[in-house]
Chain A
Amino acid sequence: MTTTTDRPTVVLPEPDTTGTPRVRTKKPRLFSVGLPLALYLLFTLVPFYWMIVFAFRPAGSNSMLPWPLTFEHFDTVWNTLGFSFFFKNSLIVAALSLVLTTFVALATGYALARFKFRAKIPLVMALLCSQFVPGAMLLIPLFQVFREMNLVNNLTGLIVADTVFQLPLAAMLMAGFIAQIPVELEEAAMVDGCSRLRAFRIIMLPLLRPGLIAVGSFAFIGSWNNFLFGLMFISSQDKFTLPVGLSYTIGSYNVDFGVLAAGGLIAAVPVVAVFAVIQKYLVQGLSAGAVKG
């Protein structure tokens, strides 16, 4: 029989009492982390690499690098194919659609999150179900409505269509963000003499910033990338948006990859830039509510 004294002495590390987490100094896990990440990056970045190579190398070159560097494709798409005004149109449509979507989603989301009313469940169901309808099915009814309202071949029509299409998801997202801000904060402000609107403006809006950024950026990207509505509702070349302009570079017998890649880069740069700036808010906004505290 052995006694406890026979056991080898084990020196346990001192418990960390400073309150700061210990930094783990393990070697990077090459196979479990590095390799999958490298594969994922390869999968994601190779198309971008090709886009850059095609956009910057001269036509007919087989170089694997964008060398000798040329800007001729950018010159063609921007000045000859009209991307300068496609870009401007896309910017106007996406920016106004962002503002409209965010504003209406904020109002709808607030109503859904804060008020109890009889039609609430049917309304939420309707918003959810509207997500099942593909955009192509909305085309003809929207076309007829827009024609009556003189909105066909008009950027305003496109802004309205994009907003309407994105609103259900945006409103549901916004309702989620608002619901996870304690209502007591607003109530406290109202007890202190604020009106509901003022309490919303000075208490809720700052707290909702990540949510607003998440919804707004989705609205911007959705509108920026929307090809179908741009193609269907606009019939003048000078009012086309970027996705329509891009498809215009692909003929049935001829695809100019250099021009297409240059146009693709022009279309991608603002989106990438927007995400680079807002990504910390976006992650914060999307993960808000994931852990209830």
Chain B
Amino acid sequence: MNRRTLLRSTLVGAAATLVLASCSSETSLPDGALGDPNNAQLTFWDNNAGPDRTPLYEELIRRFEAANPGIDIQYVGLPSDSAQQKYQTALAGGSAPDLGIVSTAYLAPLVAQDAVISLDDFMAASPQRDEYDAGILESARESGGGEHLFGLPYTSNNATLWYRADWFAEAGIEPPDTYDEFFEAAKDLTDKDDGRYGFTIRGGAGSIYPLLQYMFASTGIESFFEDGESTLNRPEMVDAIERFAALYDVATPTADVNNGFPQMVASFGGGSVAMMQHNLGSLSNHEKALGDKAGAVALPRNEDGKRTVMTDPFPSYTVFKSSKHQAAAWKFLEFMTSQESQAYWNERVGQIPVNKAARSAPEFASMPSVQAALAALDDPKTVLVTPPDYLPDFGKIVQVQMLGQWQKVLIGQLSAQDFADDFAEKLDRSMAKYVARQGK
């Protein structure tokens, strides 16, 4: 082999290597990213495993591993109601996974424990950085405390008003676009003798989040705190609570006071209520029970014509500080939030992709619930309110402490004013603790 042939072969080889290298990985990593991005064994925990979602992750993992033969993903599905406890125990025992899905509702404690890494540098170096929905990323930043992105969201699950399209058509009513129309429809569609109610109000487990979503949507108040004080006991809020609670047992079933998500879905799917408020995640339940009789619109507008959307807790991918393979973990996250993976996952669960390019996938066009939520998100008049998940006690206040109080309001043992004052005071106290801790 002469020198020229040798040189040519070397150049061709080098070019081929470069092309292959660029094909195998489109990821750009920041300096100092930990571990080999092309060779790792990663443990990945899913916080909401189940027969409907696990196969989707397994398929995406299969695709990722085929494209990245050096990386092996060990998927572990966790039951949704025990996932947080499992994360906390594993952290305390020093056995956290490399990466996992966490809800924004419990991201803050992980951040406070310094258990997860900031993804900002990875994001800044990523070729996909402009494809993500800026509003949702901002909301994720706020949930983690405001400054850094600790969790990469991959789906948005907006509050939705599900309604019986056939009953509305029979009654000649349009699905509500304002809260006045909503209350009117709830009363018009109630026929207690026939066992039909206009609405199902959530009184049992998980009832405070939807209540807050209603409170912000109907009043148009844009933030949980203004001038350092909670807005929850403003007079408009108290009026809104009173009006909502007045529906109970008038336009809703009496049993609602104890009902959580499964009972609410059963009432709606079983044909006893005309409307229910829940996020996009219940689509498959409604499709199974009602088919195309179930319609969906975004939560109604307030009096000013604005739509105020309080975001639901959403799942995010997080990378744990203890992981020795953070570079490979990011590569996996980038794959999972790529246009193709996002469309695949979200169109099967009926939620909104965070990767905006994925939203043009044809399947979304045939989902009224997703279209309604997207229209609300894209509307320039829409205001997004992020719940203060960063407060150390927020989860406890919402999920435990206020639950019994709300049930008392429903059955008339507590006034809306007292409820709102109590709620606001708890949040103010939690905020004071948070500020004190930040100041240290």
Contact = CB atoms under 8 A, between A and B. Distances in A.
Interface of A: 59-60, 76, 80-81, 139-140, 143-144, 146-147, 152, 231-232, 235-237, 244, 247-256, 259
7 contacts: A80-B51, A235-B45, A235-B95, A236-B74, A236-B76, A254-B284, A256-B51
A144 B77 contact: no
B51 A259 contact: yes
B86 A250 contact: no
B225 interface: no
B356 to A, nearest CB: 24
Given A237-B77, A248-B77, A144 B51 contact: no
Contacts, number: 88
Q: How large is the interface on B (under 10, 10 to 19, 20 to 34, 35 or more residues)?
A: 35 or more
Contacts of B92: 140, 143-144
Nearest to B74: A236
Contact of A250 (B74, B79, B95, B285): B79
A140 B81 CA distance: 19
Nearest to A231: B82
B87 to A, nearest CB: 11
Contacts of B282: 253-254
B81 A250 contact: yes
B80 A232 contact: no
A254 B349 CA distance: 11
B48 A251 contact: yes
Contacts of B74: 236
**4 closest cross-chain pairs (CB), A and B:** A143-B93, A251-B50, A253-B281, A247-B79
B95 A152 contact: yes
Contacts of A80: 51
A76 B55 CA distance: 13
A143 B89 contact: yes
Contacts of B288: 59-60
Given A147-B95, A235-B95, A248 B89 contact: no
B53 A251 contact: yes
B52 interface: yes
B82 A144 contact: no
A226 to B, nearest CB: 13
Contacts of B86: 231-232
Nearest to A144: B93
Contacts of B284: 253-254
A222 B98 CA distance: 33
B89 A250 contact: no
A90 B318 CA distance: 32
B48 A255 contact: no
Contacts of A259: 51
Contacts of A252: 48, 80-81, 261, 281
B93 A140 contact: yes
Interface in B75-122: 75-82, 85-86, 89-90, 92-95, 97
Contacts of B94: 144, 147
A244 B79 contact: yes
A140 B50 CA distance: 26
Given A250-B81, A253-B282, A76 B51 contact: yes
A255 B262 contact: yes
A172 to B, nearest CB: 29
A250 B80 contact: yes
A251 B93 contact: no
B43 interface: yes
Contacts of B43: 235
Contacts of B90: 143, 232, 235
B49 interface: yes
B82 A254 contact: no
A251 B90 CA distance: 21
A139 B89 contact: yes
